[in-house]
Structure 1
């Protein structure tokens, strides 16, 4: 008998699992939902503090109640915040657990509080401020209003009635559950894990694989044989938007099915280190601060195109040296244009302000170089750096002759929190005027990112702004590395010709 123990996320409780529980039970599984103290109407003992350890104890109690019965394969499922008490409880009862399922949640780490997994910096600061203020009101974080749920994750696929009910039944989150560091002993090393990614939020298996390839320490264990993955094409609350598919996925996870990641460097170089898909000549390179200048052989001040890598990427990844970035820069240099690869400090979604400052500083550095024609500059953004294009779209300087973007993120992804309005290209494009725009669109883009691209293009159309779209119908995100096909090569040639054409007229 498989026993699923389901633990819900912030502000919610067992009620969110109603449909999924019914479906799993009909399939022959035993299902338990865990009422966490202080949530969903569960009252804590008078005078007690509800913290992460008390929630861990709540989950342990359910595990122990199962163990008193017949032999069972226990699968612990943690959604959102719920993964923290799940992992804590599993660490204390590792011998009893058959699998842990991370349902659109992070990877809890020893010594790190759950608050660290909250993407929205304002929300993190609010929790800290309230907890420092003391008093009864500071002990709890109020639940979101109906329109605020998107700050915690994508609401894609969530029917209006379900969102209304989620809001009506939501309760305050005890502050100490977010602030108390998780304590782990390492007992979970041999327990299988499954990650279920809800792709409407922008995350997918390919993204996780890329983070493994980039060497992110917290994810290296997820490329092992005891780790599997599934994707669900829905938002952050699949138990409400896609309960049937979620139930099937949980059953498959319990059966050890799912996609397994490739360990870093196990199958040749990772995608970001694969050779550029075009044979471009090597050109002289000069490093100045946080930019690399790929020098053209043509005399006189030359136009320049700044290649801005995506992100977030781990510190030390050296993206300005990646073959994809240098390939575009060399292509430009071979055609008489200074190709510039820019390194910026976008290591987390909270880093957009300093990344924007890095890009602005790179622009000024390049424009001040006597070998550069300061009045003929192009900016080319990739992937997550697409949000950095907003400021240049909102008020294009006269010297900016073209702005390009490859498979870009053009609006903050759900769950990234309240990024400053400076980083909303889908809004800023309304002010782009006659600035030439080139957008390279991957036909097999992840759902979450594709939505932002379409919102950007819709806004451009509404405001009469022309965008030259270069489509790669069978291309994925980072198609230059993962899909080095003739169609991809043609798309790169077409995009390069467009950008360089605006610089050399």
Structure 2
């Protein structure tokens, strides 16, 4: 039996996995959606990126999970990638869901669009404000799904986006699956393309947008189950 630790991206909490969790549990596995500090029901808790890494590690250790498949969506691929190496032999596989990946010494805002994010954080009291409904157009989402995401989103703590990642060994050494959502670009970013040259990494494509836990939750669950069996 695998134990899935599920971490959604910026602005979202554990609730984002509500339609994925039942599929995993129905298949006989454990499923543990996690809200990172400073978001959703944990809004107001001070949080940097290393806080988020520790959130993930603490969950695994507190529940004494083994055979862990830890999945990180979007921003959360950065703390998930760091946490995955820190949980050691508890890890079965890490799954990056159309996500950023950690690079030593680099932060989320190191990416090309980072300046816009930094400016937004500075203008919003240290938080990155959630997207508007129109920003979800073209991502394979129904109107009611967009409304649900917008209603549930909370401002994202800026420090988690500006802190640099810390890795003790090359990320390519981890057993990993990268899920590329094709409506959000038909190719992974160059750093992911390089990682996919590792024999430990595999690529899976989904014909949907950047939020597959809403647009195709059953298909996403199937891919997660396949990853656990790899």
Rounded to whole Å, the distance in 1 between the matches of 2:129 and 2:32 is: 27
Partner of 1:92: 86
Partner of 2:226: 252
CA 1:29–1:116: 2 relative to 1, 3 Å: same
Rounded to whole Å, the distance in 1 between the matches of 2:192 and 2:8 is: 23
Shift of 1:149: 3.8
Partner of 1:14: 14
Rounded to whole Å, the distance in 2 between the matches of 1:129 and 1:156 is: 28
CA 1:217–1:189: 2 relative to 1, 3 Å: closer
Residue 147 of structure 1, aligned match among 116, 131, 134: 134
Q: Does 1:169 align with 2:156?
A: no
Shift of 1:191: 2.2
Q: Does 1:198 align with 2:181?
A: yes
Partner of 2:62: 65
CA 1:218–1:198: 2 relative to 1, 3 Å: closer
Rounded to whole Å, the distance in 1 between the matches of 2:185 and 2:43 is: 36
Contact 1:142 1:171 in 2 (8 A): yes
Contact 1:97 1:191 in 2 (8 A): no
Contact 2:82 2:167 in 1 (8 A): yes
Contact 1:41 1:171 in 2 (8 A): no
SS at match of 1:110: coil
Which gives a bigger RCO, structure 1 or 2 (Cα 8 Å, sep 6+)? 2
CA 1:200–1:189: 2 relative to 1, 3 Å: closer
SS at match of 2:96: strand
Shift of 1:86: 0.6
1:329-368 to 2 correspondences below 5 Å: none
Shift of 1:129: 4.0
Contact 2:4 2:69 in 1 (8 A): yes
CA 1:125–1:55: 2 relative to 1, 3 Å: closer
SS at match of 1:123: helix
Shift of 1:220: 3.1
TM-score when normalising by structure 1: 0.43
SS at match of 1:95: helix
Q: Does 1:124 align with 2:117?
A: yes
SS at match of 1:12: coil
SS at match of 1:223: coil
CA 1:60–1:148: 2 relative to 1, 3 Å: same
Partner of 2:51: 54
Partner of 1:386: none
Rounded to whole Å, the distance in 2 between the matches of 1:144 and 1:201 is: 15
CA 1:145–1:28: 2 relative to 1, 3 Å: same
Contact 1:90 1:188 in 2 (8 A): no
1:81-480 to 2 correspondences below 5 Å: 81-117=75-111, 120=113, 123-127=116-120, 129-130=122-123, 137-149=124-136, 155-186=138-169, 188=171, 190-203=173-186, 207-208=187-188, 219-256=193-230
Runs of at least 5 residues in structure 2 that lack an aligned partner in the other structure: none
TM-score when normalising by structure 2: 0.91
CA 1:187–1:197: 2 relative to 1, 3 Å: closer
- Runs (4 or more) in structure 1 with deviation over 6 Å come to none
Partner of 1:385: none
Rounded to whole Å, the distance in 2 between the matches of 1:179 and 1:122 is: 11
Contact 1:8 1:79 in 2 (8 A): yes
Deviations along 1:199-238, one digit per CA (max 9) or x if unpaired, are: 11122xxx45xx8xxxx56643421221111111001111
Deviations along 1:256-305, one digit per CA (max 9) or x if unpaired, are: 2xxxxxxxxxxxxxxxxxxxxxxxxxxxxxxxxxxxxxxxxxxxxxxxxx
CA 1:15–1:128: 2 relative to 1, 3 Å: closer
CA 1:187–1:217: 2 relative to 1, 3 Å: closer
Runs of at least 5 residues in structure 1 that lack an aligned partner in the other structure: 131-136, 257-505
